[in-house]
Structure 1
Amino acid sequence: MAGLNFEAIPPLSSPIRFYLTATAFALLAAIMIALHGETLWLSRWMPATLAITHLIALGVMAMIMIGSLFQVMPVLCGAAIPIKGWSLHLFHATLTAGVLSLAAAFLGWLSFLIPFVLLGLSLGYFSLTLAWLLLTQAKGEQTRIPILLAIFALSVLVLLGLILLSGYLWGYMPTAGKVLTNLHAGIGSFGWIMLLIMAVSFQVIPMFHVTPPYSPTWRYALITLLLTGLILASMQLLHFAAAWQLAWGWLLSIGATLLYCAVTLERLTKRKRKLPDVVINYWQFGLMNLILTCLLSVWLIVPFTKPDWALLWQTKLEVLLGFLFGFGFVLAIIQGMLLKIVPFLISLHLQRLMMQNPMAMIPLPDHYQLISRVRMKRQYFSYLALLTALWLAFLLPATTPLMAVVFAINWLIIAYNIFGALTLYREYRDKLVNAPKLSL
C-alpha cells in the first residue's frame, strides 16, 4: 500500500453518488426483468436481454467500480482522481444518461447515436484521466500496475463497444458474425472486471480480513496469465482462427481465474480474525460461483460432442452464464465490498473532521454502528434468495418475474443500508462542526 494521504481523499459525495445511482439502475433492471419475464431465456441476443445486460454491467457494476476507484486511489496509490467539481457532475450525468440511452436504443426507442456520443465521451474521459494519473503520480507498484491494466482493458472495451454501435448506426463491422461481440464480452469480463477485482483484492483482503498477503509470485503470475490469455484471444479472434484455436486464449484466461479463486479461498481460510463476517461469506460464495461459471464456460467453449439435451439447453445455458457471472460473482463481491467501503470512507471523513477540531472529543461510530451486523445479514440473505430465484428461473422460466422481485428487494436493502450510514454520518458531522473550537 502506498500510504493513506488524507489530503487526497475526495469528498464523500464523489463515490456515494455512483453507489446510489447504481441502486437506481438495479431497480430499473429489475423492472425490465419482470416485464420481459421468460422471454429473456430465449437468446442472449434478444433486444431486452441486451438492454438489461448493459443496465447491470454499466449502470450497476461499472458505476460502483468507478465510484470505488475515487476512494481506492488515494488509499492504495496515494493519488486522487482529478475529476471534481463541475467536471465530476458532468461526467456522472453524461455516464448516467449514456447508460439509459443505450438501454433505450436496444429497445428501439432511441437512436444509437446518442449512447455512442455520451458513453464514448464519459468513459473515454474517465479512462484517459485515470491512465494518466496512474502513469505519472500514483505509487505502489503492486496495485498501480494491475489497475492500469484494468483501465487499459476498459479503454479497449469502450472502443469495441463503439465499433459495435457503429454497426447499428452505419453498418460498419470489421469482423464477421458475432466475433467482435464475443471479444467485447470477454474483455469486459476477464479484462476490466477481473483485473480490477484482482488488483483491489490483493490489498483489501489482507487489510480488511487479516489474511496472509498474496506473494509477489502469485500476484505477477495471475495477472500475467490472465493478460496473456486476453491477448491471445484478441489476436486469434481478429484473425478468424478455427473454433478450437479460438478457445486457447479464453481457456488460459479461465485457468488464471480458477487459480485466483483457489489462492484467494486459501487465503480466506487462514485469516487471523475468525469471527463470523458476512463479507467473508460474500467472497467465498462469489468465488464458488465464479468457479462454476468458469467450468460452465469451458464446457460451452470446447467443441466436443455434447448430448442432445445439452444442445437443447445451450441457449439457456449461455444466458445463465451471464447471470451467474454477474449476479453470482460480480454483484456478490460488490455487495460485500460496499459493506466495508461505505463505513470505511465515512470513518475516514469523520476522522479528518476530528483532526481539524481536536477539542470536539466526540466518540466516533465504529463500522458496525454505521451498518449493523443485523443489516449486513439481512442484505446477505436477500442476495442468497436472489441466487435461489435465479436457478429457479433457469429451471422454470415462468418464475423469472419472481427473480426480478427478489433482485429489487436485495438492492432496496442495499440502498437502505447506505442511506442509514449516511444519516449517521451527517449527525456526527454536525456534532463535530458545531463543537467548541480551540481558542488561542
Structure 2
Amino acid sequence: MRGLSVHQAPPFLIVALHFLTACIFWLISSFLELYLLFRKELNLPLLVHTYLLGFALITMFGALFQMLPVVAGAVIKDPLKKALLSYLLLLPSVLLFLVGFLKKDRSILHFGATALLISILLTSSLMMYHLLPKKSFLPAVRGFKFSLSFLLAGTLFGYLFLLFGEPAFFKFHYSFVLWGWVGGLIVSVSFQVIETFYTTPPYPKYLAWYFHLLLLLSLLVFQLGEESVYKLPICILYTAYAFTTIYLLLKSKRKVLEYTPKFWLLGMILLLSACYLFLIGKFIPFLLAFGLFFSAIIVGMMQRIIPFLVWFHLSGFGIKSAPLMFEILPPLRQGITFYSFLALCLSLPLGFLSKDLLFIPIFFHFLTASVLFFNIIGGVKVYLKNR
C-alpha cells in the first residue's frame, strides 16, 4: 500500500484499549441523554464534551498512535509505555471534567480542565515532536501536523474561556476544535484510506495538498464576525471536500459487501447538512449534525481498523490459521451497526417536533453503541485467543 510501512506498526493493545474506552464513553453518553430527558434538562456542555472527549478524542489519539509510525514514519520509541501513560493521564482528566459539567461544580470543572489541558498538551507534544521533523511526502502527513496544531490551539482557547468567559475565546475554541481538529483529522485520514481501502481515484492534488492551509485561513476569517459571509470560506471548503469524497466513493472499484464506505457516504451527507446549518446560524442543530458526521466516520473506521489490525498482527506473528477480516467482523454485524445508526440519524429530527419523541433516537443511539462495543470487543477476543 502506497506510503505505508508495515514494519513499524505499534502494539495492537494501544488501538484496542483506546477504541474500547471510546465505545464505553459513547454507550455512557446514551444513558446521559436518557437521564437528562427524564430530568427535562439540556446540559449541552456535558453531552458535547462527552462526545468530543470521551468518544472522538480518545479514538483519534488511539488511531494516531497507530498511523504516525505507519503512514508518516514518525516512530515513537517504547510506544506501549508512552501510549499507556498518555491514556492514564487522559482518562481521569476527561472523567473529572465531565463530572464538573454534570454536577455544575466550578471547582471540579476547573481542576478537571487543568488536568485535561496538561494531558492533551503532553500527548500532542509527544506526537508533534516525532511528526514535525518528517517531510510531508503525503497529504495525510501534512494534515496530521495541522490537525494537532488546531487541537492545541482549540484546547488552550477553551481553557481561557473557562477562566475568563470571553466570548471571543469560545468562538476560537469550538471552531478550532470542531472544524480544525475533528474535521481536519478526518479529512487527513480520508486522504490516505479512501484511495487505499476502497480502490478509488486519488483526491485532486490541489485539494489534498492545500486543504489544511485553506482551513487555517478560513478559521481566521471566521473570527472576524458572526455574519454568514465570515462562515462562507469554511462551508465552501468542506462542501467541496464532501462532494469530492462522495464522487470518489461512487467511483470505487471495490465491489465486495462492506459497510465502511456506506458510513463515509452517510458521513459526507451529514457534513453537508452541518455546513448548511452552520452557515444559517442554527447552532444546536449544527452541533447535532456535526456530531453525527464524525460519529459516522469513527464507527465505520473502527469496524475497518480493528479487523484489519487483528489480521495484520496475527499474520505478522506467522500464525497460518489467522482469520480473515470478514471472519473477524462479519458484514452482517457491520450492517446492524450501520442501519441502527441510520435510524438514529433519521429519527433525531423528531426531537424538534416533540421532546417526548427524543427517546426514539436515544434508543437507536444505545443500540448502535452496544453493537459497536460488541463488534470491537469481539475483534479483540479473536486477537487474544489466537495470539
Please classify the TM superposition score into its range, dividing by the shorter chain length. over 0.9
1:79 has 2:74 as partner: yes
1:4 matched to 2:40:
no
Bigger Rg over Cα: 1
Of 312, 316, 320, 2:285 maps to: 320
Q: CA 1:389 to 1:277, structure 2 compared with 1: closer, same or farther past 3 Å?
A: same
Q: Does 2:237 align with 1:256?
A: yes
How do 1:165-244 residues align onto structure 2 when only pairs under 5 Å count? 165-166=162-163, 172-173=164-165, 175=166, 178-234=167-223, 236=224, 241=225, 243-244=226-227
User: Do structure 1's residue 90 and structure 2's residue 54 form an aligned pair?
Assistant: no
Instruction: Verify: 1:351 aligned to 2:293, yes or no.
Output: no
1:57 Cα offset (Å): 0.6
Distance 1:222 1:85, change over 3 A: closer
Q: State the partner residue of 2:338.
A: 380
TM-score by length of 1: 0.82
Aligned residues: 384
Cα shift readout 1:242-277 (whole Å, capped 9, x = no counterpart) = x43xx4442101110000011111111111123343
- In 2: Cα distance, 1:324 partner to 1:128 partner: 30
Deviation at 1:139, TM superposition (A): 5.8
Deviations 1:8-63 (A, max 9, x none): 211111111111111111122111110111877x8xxx5x2111110111100111
| 1:202-226 per-position Cα deviation (integer Å, ceiling 9, x unaligned) | 1100000000011322212433322
- 1:144 and 2:125 are equivalent in the alignment: no
Q: TM-score of the superposition, structure 2-length normalised? A: 0.93
CA–CA separation in structure 1 for the residues paired with 2:254 and 2:79: 37
Contact kept? 1:29, 1:52, Cα under 8 Å? yes
- Give the match's secondary structure for 2:312: helix
Q: Report the counterpart of residue 268 of structure 2 in structure 1.
A: 287
Distance in 1 (alpha carbons) for counterparts of 2:138 and 2:342: 36
Q: Secondary structure at the match of 1:214?
A: coil
Residues 154 and 175, structure 2, Cα contact 8 Å, conserved in 1: no
Give the AA of the match of 2:147: A
2:25 paired residue number: 25
The corresponding residue for 1:69 is: 64
Instruction: Mark the runs of 5 or more structure 1 residues left unpaired by the alignment.
Output: 167-171, 301-316, 355-359, 430-440
* Structure 2 residue ranges without an equivalent (≥5): none
Tell me if the contact between 1:21 and 1:63 (Cα under 8 Å) persists in the aligned partners: yes
Q: Which amino acid aligns with 1:342?
A: I
State which of 350, 356, 359 in structure 2 corresponds to 1:392: 350
In 2, Cα distance between the equivalents of 1:407 and 1:276? 24
Report the CA distance between 1:163 and its aligned residue.
0.7
Instruction: Give distance in 2, aligned partners of 1:350 and 1:376.
Output: 22
Letter in 2 for 1:345: L
Q: SS of the residue aligned with 1:140?
A: coil
Alpha-carbon distance in structure 1 between the residues aligned to 2:274 and 2:325: 33
What is the CA-CA distance between 1:158 and the residue it aligns to?
1.1
Provide the identity percentage: 25
Q: CA separation in 1, counterparts of 2:38 and 2:262? A: 30
For the structure 1 residues 85 and 262, does the alpha-carbon distance in structure 2 shift closer, same or farther, using more than 3 Å as the test?
closer
Higher relative contact order, chain-length normalized (CA < 8 Å, sep 6+): 1
TM-superposed deviation, 1:231:
2.2
Quote the Cα distance in structure 2 between the aligned partners of 1:86 and 1:69. Answer: 15
1:296 Cα deviation after fit: 1.7
Match of 2:361 in 1: 403
Which residue does the alignment assign to 2:382?
Answer: 424
Residue 111 (structure 1) shift: 2.0
